[in-house]
Amino acid sequence: GTIIGTVLGILILRVMRNGIVLIGVPGLAYNIFIGAIILGMMALHSWLERRHQAGT
């Protein structure tokens, strides 16, 4: 990743956290939700990298 990508990711997570807090979701559910998003993004990144390498 890049610094810009990292900063954008942090901003997105903060906005999501603020929204989740505003609607009253418990802390544990928030942690599970964010963990699932991070794992999903890592899997997507890995898949895209493999796809890109297979195409070259």
pTM for the full model? 0.67
What DSSP line would sit under 1-56, residue for residue? Answer: --HHHHHHHHHHHHHHHHHHHHTT--HHHHHHHHHHHHHHHHHHHHHHHHHHHHH-
Domain range holding 24?
A: 3-55
pLDDT range class, residue 7, cuts 50, 70, 90: very high
Would you state the structure tokens that stand for residue 30, as one six-digit string? 């928030």
Give me the number of domains the chain comprises. 1
pLDDT 10s digits, 25-49: 888 888 898 899 889 989 998 999 9
